[in-house]
């Protein structure tokens, strides 16, 4: 028997994901600021690309939070 769809804590999980992703983004930025002269241009580019993906992920999470909020009001 399948479990019923329990969406009660989805917003909390999404908000936690947003916070974790933003923290990783800021830590990577701090790392770049502190060690940019000591790392290769390739490593710098990889970190910058990953941060762009993190920014898009945060936007996606925020859209999901809006969807969940709208769904919970139905």
The verdict on residue 17 lying in a domain is: no
- Are 58 and 15 in contact by the 8 Å Cβ rule? The answer is no
Q: Alpha-carbon distance 62 to 43, whole Å?
A: 29
The verdict on residue 8 lying in a domain is: no
Structurally, the chain folds into a number of domains equal to 1
pLDDT at residue 65, as a whole number: 94
pLDDT tens digits for range 25-51: 999 999 999 999 999 999 999 999 999
Q: Note the pTM of the prediction, 2 decimals.
A: 0.83
Of the two residues 7 and 10, the one the predictor is more confident about is 10
The verdict on residue 67 lying in a domain is: yes
DSSP characters over 8-63: TTHHHHHHHHHHHHHHHHHHHHHHHHHHTTTS-HHHHHHHHHHHHHHHHHHHHHHH
Domain that holds residue 36: 22-72
The mean of the pLDDT values for the chain is 91
């Amino acid at each position: 028997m399948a479990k019923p769809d329990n969406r009660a804590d989805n917003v909390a999980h999404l908000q936690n994901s947003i916070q974790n992703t933003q923290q990783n983004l800021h830590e990577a930025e701090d790392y770049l600021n502190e060690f940019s002269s000591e790392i290769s241009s390739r490593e710098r580019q990889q970190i910058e690309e990953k941060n762009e993906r993190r920014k898009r992920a945060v936007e996606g999470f925020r859209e999901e939070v809006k969807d969940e909020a709208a769904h919970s009001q139905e």
